Every structure is written in structure tokens, then in C-alpha cells.
């Protein structure tokens, strides 16, 4: 296991990289313009939850079609954690 490989908290397993260079769009907010980032998309092999991590520098130019559709970061989405029945029995 790499020191940088994410672990699924619910399943306690190493997540697998399913896509490198996943395009994420950070929308315009207040005084900041819209920015595109590239990261790595990981997925849990059991519960299938997905994350994007490992962002580097923002892209200077708008991305071309070779990157596919960008994931839209949503600042308005509630930041409440998802509740899962597996967490209720955890004795941590």
C-alpha cells in the first residue's frame, strides 16, 4: 500500500484508482474566477464510494475535449456526513 492511497473509512479497505487526470471545475466565487484542476479518482471496491484527490496546480487554459466532462465542485451542497448503518456498531 502506498502512503498516499486513500482508505475507505466505512469498509476499512484501500481504495483503487479508477481514473488519472480527472477534471474538476471549481466555480467562480466572490473574487475568484472559475478554475479547472486535475486529480486522481479513487473508488472503494466494496461500497463504491468515489473521491477525487491529489490536485496539483490549476490548469492555465480551458481544458480540451480529451479530458471529458468536468466534475462540478458544489459549494452550496450541504456538508453533512453521510450516515451509514455500519458506523452505528463501530466501537472507536
pTM beyond 0.75: no
DSSP string covering 54-81, please? ---SPPSS---GGG-SPEEP-TTS--PP
Q: What is the per-residue pLDDT across 10-28, written as a single tens digit (0 to 9) for each?
A: 999 999 999 998 998 888 8
With beta carbons less than 8 A apart as the criterion, state whether 15 and 42 touch: yes
CA distance 11 to 44: 8
The one-digit pLDDT tens for each residue of the chain (92 residues) are 566 899 999 999 999 999 998 998 888 878 878 888 899 999 999 999 999 998 877 787 778 888 888 888 777 776 666 555 455 555 44
Unique residue bearing C-alpha cell 479530458? 67
Break the chain into its structural domains and give their ranges: 1-58
**1-58 adopts what CATH topology?**
N-terminal domain of TfIIb (2.20.25)
CA distance 44 to 82: 15
With beta carbons less than 8 A apart as the criterion, state whether 51 and 24 touch: no
Amino acid at each position: 500500500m502506498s502512503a498516499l492511497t486513500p482508505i475507505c473509512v466505512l469498509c476499512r479497505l484501500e481504495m483503487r484508482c479508477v481514473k488519472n487526470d480527472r477534471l474538476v471545475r471549481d466555480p467562480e466565487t466572490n473574487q475568484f474566477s472559475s478554475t479547472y484542476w486535475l486529480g486522481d479518482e479513487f473508488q472503494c471496491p466494496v461500497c463504491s464510494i468515489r473521491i477525487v484527490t491529489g490536485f496539483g496546480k490549476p490548469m492555465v487554459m480551458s481544458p480540451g475535449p480529451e479530458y471529458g466532462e468536468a466534475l462540478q465542485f458544489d459549494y452550496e451542497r450541504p456538508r453533512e456526513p453521510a450516515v451509514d448503518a455500519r458506523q452505528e456498531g463501530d466501537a472507536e
